[in-house]
Structure 1
């Protein structure tokens, strides 16, 4: 897929809309955190001063950075106060945004958990690999082939220490494991979800392991609240002496994914465990539980946990030379706050794939900045490989574009096409325009600069553009594996 240059005036009109709202917020004494993220959306100020449009800093560093890549699970685009949430308070992530760059138009690689993780680990569309066709992986029939190069294996070959703590969700033992795909260390769960105290997974199995490489490897017994356990492990890792090596830590929380169990909810936990052990299929989905209040508690707990890990990083003396990345693996679910976006997890509408994204690297990036460039998960793989001095495998070409020239040198990003495919839906974004076909089978066209909510279908008024974007989607799709069945 070749980069496509869109008109300069189109790009400027997007910035003028957002910039005008941000400026109005500043005049009213409100930080631009919510205004820049969601035009006209309610929200609370999360910045001490108005954010500035992104501009690369003229700084250099001889050191390759450590990489702390943090993923929330099913966290919606506006679930952080710095992205406009009127009721969820996330001071630690808001502080991270003030210290770095907040992206308003950042996307996940897919609309559900495991395909996005495939796109992150491989830097390629999920449909390039058989395991990525599962949306998401729900059994032991699919996974990330150990022979496929990954972000971790390529950085490890370039001299990095590598670890994954938390949710893997790219296949089960004995065939698949993080330790088979480039991570030196693994501590976490293999499946897509688990009960936060008992660690029971979707099939009723215990799902917490340390360093597992073979079926039958010992489970790690810890019945404390899972987010606490992961936070402790991650804090220990960033404090550790890695023998002078830079390190990559993929920290994959399960919060705020269902079941809706907050820290301390042991009675609710015990009831779900009872139902799982009684053989009730789908008990972990917790369709009869949860609330906005419970979800708020889980997101705020995630924020506290990230804060603890960042505090450990600072105390270790490595904060300046560590690139911290925070995002969600896909859009929010039942109780998420996505306004003004439409759709949620599993949909290719904006609410299913646009995600909060923050990057901080004190040695190279100025803080208090906001970027409105459209970017998505495979881009970050390419970016981190370039920054880390690792070379992609030519036999497995990346689908993402490295953002390093934009972030570190101020080079303008060429307009290009961001592509998504899930069963029954398709989407492609080029510049300010988005082509979308949902389960209705109708081709639609939206001008996202003025219609983030995707309510004004411009297909009839822009037939040539619609045809062009549809053809671009179909050209890319031809290069992917077909869905089975």
Structure 2
């Protein structure tokens, strides 16, 4: 009789408190949201020292979890960083992982583990909402009127809402689960990165139609879409072409809808945003608000978007069971193709903070980026100087999810879950940074291998870090990498040279 009554009480509790039962059922499977900024620098965030711009929501996220001061993307540009994030492998080991055009084929291997596949294997629903830039299909030529695959869905995402490359490259359209959104089949899309197609005006021939002037030597003088010259030529798809001022809110709305539809089951949501990458054309509500030109306005828009995601997590009642990670794909750049006030209205702002270099540089500012994580079982209000890389998220989440990474795959990813939660202060022993050349960091020491490339790129005002001589820096005493100690510490130089060579020799 007692057992019968207990069973009835349990059933009654399940009916009256479904939320409690759901929470108990999902306790070991927290949601994970990874927000990825584009070209956001170490010094662009208030929590990292920015004083000329307010990032209240990023600072709020930082205060609710751990802020890492020595976190890195794998590379100083976007495509290779995203490749490393997805695969757990250094991109410089693989040919064809440089910055991709908008018509490039998919570069993510379909027969290997990826970050979203890891979550799928653990029973998660997975989604990407935002910038992709890892190629689509099996070749350059594509039929944009039909399904374009393989792409995000084949690499592990149950749901995808993306644009193919970057906002300054054609095709300037959204794609949902392999299909172009709002495409009129009577106006088919054609894309070409070598020869002009169609009759649309170009920035080169019709500069009077541009909303903002393009800088010389950047290639943003091809097909004009929404008053902005792009890289590459495009014809057709006029009903499907985006309006730049609405890109961010379109991604945000889609991400929030996904969260609402999946709030009752564990999900992994990857949100690679477009700010503050060019062309910077923020929504009207942000234009002129930063005093730093459109780049600053775009950062305000990014910060607001992060705040909206944080608020949605709270509104859905899943805050206590949701891990949120925020970072950037590489360092900052000001002059990147458009005259948008980023340079002329800088107003003393230091996008790289105390670091040397920019996007595209092997100096620290190229890959050392903001990185924050918060959520259940993660320390709050903590700052860590542990050396970590975005490439380590795959192996680290495998630990959390109790999923084995197949032998020989994601070989450059290290399990740093205890570091990410704040349980330990220890990070990586060594890390390889990548731009045109390679650098290796071990402890406080950094070695940059000799490189025959140009030391300074005028078009983007970039100190590349390239030099025919080896460079050695003590980042503890010289985080700005001003004093080359290669000749003063030959033994340390040889040690790091040997370590880098061992990394390069790995198969």
Normalised by the size of structure 2, how large is the TM-score? 0.71
Deviation at 1:266, TM superposition (A): 12
Return closer, same or farther for 1:473/1:372 CA change in 2, 3 Å cut-off: same
SS of 1:225's equivalent?
Answer: helix
What is the correspondence of 1:246-395 to structure 2 with a 5 Å cutoff?
246-264=266-284, 292-334=292-334, 335=342, 337-361=351-375, 363-395=376-408
CA distance in 1, matches of 2:183, 2:283: 28
Per mean C-alpha deviation after superposition, the further-off stretch among 84-93 and 391-400 is: 391-400
Per mean C-alpha deviation after superposition, the further-off stretch among 337-346 and 395-404 is: 395-404
CA distance in 2, matches of 1:151, 1:229: 24
Return closer, same or farther for 1:191/1:233 CA change in 2, 3 Å cut-off: same
Pick the aligned partner of 1:145 from 94, 109, 116. Answer: 109
Match in the other structure for 2:466:
439
Matched, 1:181 2:146: no
Return closer, same or farther for 1:343/1:158 CA change in 2, 3 Å cut-off: same
What is the correspondence of 1:190-201 to structure 2 with a 5 Å cutoff?
190-194=164-168
Deviation at 1:265, TM superposition (A): 9.4
Return closer, same or farther for 1:227/1:170 CA change in 2, 3 Å cut-off: same
Corresponding residue pairs, total: 387
Gaps of 5+ in 1: 1-60, 195-201, 269-289, 481-485
Q: Is the 8 A contact 2:280 2:294 kept in 1?
A: yes
SS of 1:325's equivalent?
Answer: strand
Deviation at 1:65, TM superposition (A): 1.3
Matched, 1:71 2:36: yes
Return closer, same or farther for 1:414/1:296 CA change in 2, 3 Å cut-off: closer
Per mean C-alpha deviation after superposition, the further-off stretch among 211-220 and 175-184 is: 211-220
Matched, 1:168 2:168: no
Deviation at 1:367, TM superposition (A): 1.4
SS of 1:340's equivalent?
Answer: coil
Q: Is the 8 A contact 2:39 2:330 kept in 1?
A: yes
Match in the other structure for 1:449:
476
Match in the other structure for 1:53:
none
Deviation at 1:440, TM superposition (A): 1.7
CA distance in 2, matches of 1:479, 1:241: 41
Per mean C-alpha deviation after superposition, the further-off stretch among 411-420 and 432-441 is: 411-420
Deviation at 1:148, TM superposition (A): 2.6
Deviation at 1:246, TM superposition (A): 1.2
Return closer, same or farther for 1:478/1:369 CA change in 2, 3 Å cut-off: same
SS of 1:207's equivalent?
Answer: coil
How big is each residue's C-alpha offset from its partner over 1:51-89, in whole Å with a ceiling of 9 and x where there is no partner?
xxxxxxxxxx94221100000000011101111112111
SS of 2:419's equivalent?
Answer: helix
Q: Is the 8 A contact 2:66 2:422 kept in 1?
A: no
CA distance in 2, matches of 1:330, 1:81: 18
Deviation at 1:180, TM superposition (A): 1.1
SS of 1:144's equivalent?
Answer: coil
Matched, 1:466 2:493: yes
Deviation at 1:435, TM superposition (A): 0.6
What is the correspondence of 1:101-180 to structure 2 with a 5 Å cutoff?
101-132=66-97, 134-136=98-100, 139-141=103-105, 143-173=107-137, 174-180=148-154
CA distance in 2, matches of 1:102, 1:148: 31
SS of 2:320's equivalent?
Answer: coil
CA distance in 2, matches of 1:249, 1:439: 37
CA distance in 2, matches of 1:191, 1:414: 32
Matched, 1:478 2:475: no
Gaps of 5+ in 2: 1-25, 138-147, 185-236, 335-341, 343-349, 450-464
Matched, 1:226 2:239: no
Q: Is the 8 A contact 1:115 1:136 kept in 2?
A: no
Return closer, same or farther for 1:155/1:217 CA change in 2, 3 Å cut-off: farther
SS of 1:324's equivalent?
Answer: strand
Q: Is the 8 A contact 1:65 1:246 kept in 2?
A: yes
Return closer, same or farther for 1:81/1:190 CA change in 2, 3 Å cut-off: same
Deviation at 1:93, TM superposition (A): 0.6
Deviation at 1:405, TM superposition (A): 2.5
Normalised by the size of structure 1, how large is the TM-score? 0.74
SS of 1:419's equivalent?
Answer: strand
CA distance in 2, matches of 1:318, 1:66: 8
CA distance in 2, matches of 1:462, 1:262: 48
SS of 1:320's equivalent?
Answer: helix
CA distance in 1, matches of 2:281, 2:320: 35
